[in-house]
Amino acid sequence: MPILKLVQKILKPAGSSASVQPRVYPRSEHPISRRAISPNALKVLYRLKQAGFRACLVGGCVRDLLLGREPKDFDVVTDARPEQVKALFRNCRLVGRRFRLAHVQFGGEIIEVATFRAAAAPGREGDWAQEESGRVLRDNVFGTIEEDAFRRDFTANALYYDIADFSVIDYVGGMEDLRRGVLRLIGDPESRYREDPVRMLRAVRFMTKLGFVLDPTCEEPLRRLAPLLAGIPPARLYDEALKLFLSGFAVQTFEWLRHYGLFEFLFPATEEALKVEHQGFPSTFLLRALEAADRRLSEGKPVAPYFLYAALLWAPVRLEAERRQAAGAAPGVALQEAVSAVLTEQVQRVAIPRRIALPMREVWMLQPRFERRQGGRPLRLVEHPRFRAGYDFLLLRSAAGEVEPELAGWWTRFLEAGEEERRQMLQGPRQRRPRSRRKARAKRAFVSS
Ligand code: ATP
Ligand code: MG
């Protein structure tokens, strides 16, 4: 960090500048009704208040309530210290290494209670550390509600619903931005991205989720600062990437991430592979897979993270397998090696937990097996625990023109068929092919893509 900026920060730490008067919207001037708030969150708020503490809802839930959406979860902030919160609730645990939070558990619902925190600033009580790039490594400092507001990322995420009088408290112009549909970082956009480059990904996530426009001053630094993502721990990027692609707006998210040059720092090999045209057309496989994920989520169906990751990394796996095959490797070996090579490189950017990597591998390794329809093989394949995911993957590949539609159609019929029909399908002409030709076919079929 340049010396001048550092000095300025010490003299005037972000968020703890001369006190700002918040705009307070009384109950009559905002639409948040207690009926829309989780009863458990209300219990926590009231209990804190009765014990003499300040207690507010904050962040995503206030934003969503104001927009008339159903919040995913309810986060509470208070001036009570974590130990004081714990003393008030029987069903409460303290969690978090970087900063202590209280989790109050009600059956399946957890209400997270955080103590007001200040922006990262050197020379204050508590923990603070910053890298050369501006990235803040630790910022465990308790603060006032005002400081708490200024350390948050976007204005829309920094509104407080105060249980004392049911008002909405706004230090940062968030209400106005919400009304206008603008996503805006609090403070100087470049420094806020540098403090935490993941905010670049969050910008894309909230734009698409809320249908907001990103303020031009927050848009401008993105391309330039995108390389800072390379310094983020892969485990954190795994969580963020999942949130990005399981948002229900994966297609839009993907397009914005590429537009801002962010995607290549998450999935470099995929970005490279997407440039390679196939028979004069860029592959549409990934787009179709993301579309399918969005569709499933909109129908309330789950999307397995391993399937999503298998789709995100399929383009480089496929190309690498083809390359290795062209260099003389047997198809199965080529694929196996390609999978290992791509995963080894990928996990240096975005972590992939073992529980995800194993089924991803299976979905990929099943692909060539769909090409072999002789004898008892299809019946054995159907029994594979990952068959359904592998088949869905095959359908997407087929829709993208990677495999013959005839093959996907055959499997669809096979799955719908009764026992007798299946037997007939398995006795098709290919049954009688001489072994050597069958082998040659299977080999060709996989490279056909
Ligand atoms: P969602 O509904 O998708 O969970 P959210 O706004 O609740 O959205 P979270 O990631 O759950 O998002 O974070 C909760 C709140 O914490 C945010 O609203 C924001 O105020 C603050 N916050 C989260 N991440 C950051 C960050 N990287 N920098 C600054 N503030 C953050
Ligand atoms: Mg949240």
| Residue 194 counted as domain residue | no
DSSP characters for 1-18? --HHHHHHHHHS-TT-SS
Q: What's the domain range around 279?
A: 265-426
Q: What is the pLDDT of residue 225?
A: 98
> Do 160 and 289 reside in the same domain of the chain?
no
Would you state the torsion angle of the CA atoms of residues 345, 346, 350, 354, taken in this order, to the nearest 10 degrees? -100
> Do 165 and 272 reside in the same domain of the chain?
no
Q: What is the pLDDT of residue 431?
A: 45
Question: Closest Cα to residue 243, out of 204, 185, 194, 274?
Answer: 204
> Do 67 and 183 reside in the same domain of the chain?
yes
Beta bridge partners of 140: 127
Candidate list 64, 75, 148, 294, residue with the active-site label: 75
The total number of structural domains in the chain stands at: 2
**Residue ranges lining ligand 1, Cβ < 6 Å:** 59-60, 72, 75, 152-153, 157-158, 196, 198-199
pLDDT digits (tens, 9 = 90+) for 261-290: 999 999 999 999 998 877 667 779 999 999
CA angle 66, 69, 75 (to 5 degrees): 70
Ligand nearest 243 Cα, by number? 1
Residues of the chain short of pLDDT 50, as ranges, are 7-8, 10-13, 15-16, 431-432, 434, 442-449
Ligand 1: residue of 153, 183, 218 to mutate (most ligand atoms within 8 A of CB) is 153
Q: Is 75 annotated as catalytic?
A: yes
Ligand 1: residue of 136, 155, 157 to mutate (most ligand atoms within 8 A of CB) is 157
Q: What is the pLDDT of residue 430?
A: 54
Q: What is the pLDDT of residue 346?
A: 97
Q: What is the pLDDT of residue 352?
A: 97
How far is C-alpha 424 from the geometric centre of its chain's CA atoms? 45
Q: Is 215 annotated as catalytic?
A: no
Ion ligand 2 contact residues with beta carbon within 5 A: 60
Q: Is 177 annotated as catalytic?
A: no
> Do 405 and 278 reside in the same domain of the chain?
yes
> Do 302 and 157 reside in the same domain of the chain?
no
Residue 339: which CATH number? 1.10.3090.10
Candidate list 79, 139, 153, 162, residue with the active-site label: 153
Residue 160: which CATH number? 3.30.460.10
| Residue 353 counted as domain residue | yes
What is the spatial distance between Cα 134 and Cα 3, in angstroms, rounded to a whole number?
A: 12
- C-alpha of residue 281 to centroid of ligand 2, in Å: 39
pTM recorded for the entire structure: 0.88
